Amino acid sequence: MLGSLLLAGSRVPFVRRAVSGVPLTRKVVDRFVAGETPQDAVEAVRRLTGAGLTVTIDHLGEETRDAGAAAGTAQAYTVLLGALRELDLGDRAEVSVKLSAVGQALGADGDKIALENARRICEAAHAAGADVTLDMEDHTTVDSTLGVLRALRGDFPRTGVALQAYLFRSEADCRDLSHEGSRVRLVKGAYAEPASVVHRDKAEVDKAYVRCLRILMAGGGYPMVATHDDRLISITELLADRFGRSRGDYEYQMLYGIRTDKQQALAGAGHTVRVYIPYGDDWYGYFMRRLAERPANVAFFLRALGGK
């Protein structure tokens, strides 16, 4: 219930102003967001890759309603990827892109604009030896995002995509995208969605995640298992063994600032662990989804506000 309220509040302008205007909010945001500048992101990349982890970087922003701003976001990614190229990390550092941040929400021409901007990002990533993964947003954008994915894979076949297990449709999408060479990040889902399109009960979401995970692990693609849940990590290991996958045939993904001990433990055991690093000044939507996901995150926020 609390999670649903937080997700709903994330789209209300006065709630955004109230949360953003609290000085101590920044203290909590810093736990989940690497900073506001490309330099902040690169510093986090250096620190995490130096500790044996891999990374994917998200320039924060979504639902852009201005073509100039969408082009600006694409340019921000190209600048970031230029900096990553100098680090010579190859596929140890990639970027994650929300298509609504690069034009998808711009009316009838949105898909075309998003594709053009995403292509610019993919070109810069290719030059840096890095990959691009398309984030998935609310259910109304899924078909559009998968259409852009298909277009990009014509020239950039390693382009990945996130699928959200709580959507009823995602098992079918996993089957369609489980072919050889297909990179798929499996997440639970973190948007406020109608009951007509998603599982809402936590136990049902977990079951849906396992069904989707089984499809991906049984297929010929490269599953990117985005979870902090010990039980789902154990199930992943069982499925990897069942389907003959080595530790190089899949990876774990976790969020910046969350379960850092588990990130290190898995990496120390020989797994690829990729940390999702968000940066930028448009952090509000991302921050609210992180609060909604776990009650412990809300408690951390309230303690900070209380100065404890």
Q: Is the pLDDT reported for residue 142 higher than 90?
A: yes
DSSP class of 167: B
Q: What is the pLDDT of residues 102-122, one digit of tens each?
A: 999 999 999 999 999 999 999
Position 7 scores a pLDDT of 47
Q: Is the pLDDT reported for residue 221 higher than 80?
A: yes
Task: Determine the average pLDDT of the residues in 23-51.
Answer: 85
Task: Determine the average pLDDT of the residues in 203-214.
Answer: 98
CB–CB of 159/131 below 8 Å?
yes
78 or 305, higher pLDDT:
78
Position 292 scores a pLDDT of 67
CB–CB of 102/137 below 8 Å?
no
- Parse the chain into domains and list their residue ranges: 33-282
Query: Average pLDDT over the chain, rounded to whole?
Result: 89
Q: Among residues of the chain, what percentage have pLDDT more than 90? A: 76
Position 116 scores a pLDDT of 98
| Distance separating alpha carbons of residues 101 and 148, to the nearest angstrom | 14
**How would you label 232-252 residue by residue, b for 16+ Cβ within 10 Å and e otherwise?**
bbebbeebbeeeebeeeebbb
CA angle 179, 181, 184 (to 5 degrees): 75
Position 286 scores a pLDDT of 74
13 or 168, higher pLDDT:
168
Rounded to two decimals, the pTM is 0.88
Q: Is the pLDDT reported for residue 82 higher than 60?
A: yes
CB–CB of 60/278 below 8 Å?
yes
Q: Is the pLDDT reported for residue 245 higher than 60?
A: yes
Q: Are β-strands 160-164 and 183-187 bridged in parallel, bridged antiparallel, or unpaired?
A: parallel
Q: What is the pLDDT of residues 39-71, one digit of tens each?
A: 999 999 999 999 999 999 999 988 889 999 999
pLDDT band at 225 (very low <50, low <70, confident <90, very high): very high
Task: Determine the average pLDDT of the residues in 115-144.
Answer: 97
CB–CB of 1/298 below 8 Å?
no
Position 271 scores a pLDDT of 98
Q: Is the pLDDT reported for residue 301 higher than 80?
A: no
Task: Determine the average pLDDT of the residues in 161-174.
Answer: 98
- Tokens of residue 120, six digits: 């610019």
The CATH number of 33-282 is 3.20.20.220
Residue positions annotated with a catalytic role: 135, 185
Q: What is the pLDDT of residues 84-96, one digit of tens each?
A: 999 999 999 999 9
pLDDT band at 284 (very low <50, low <70, confident <90, very high): confident
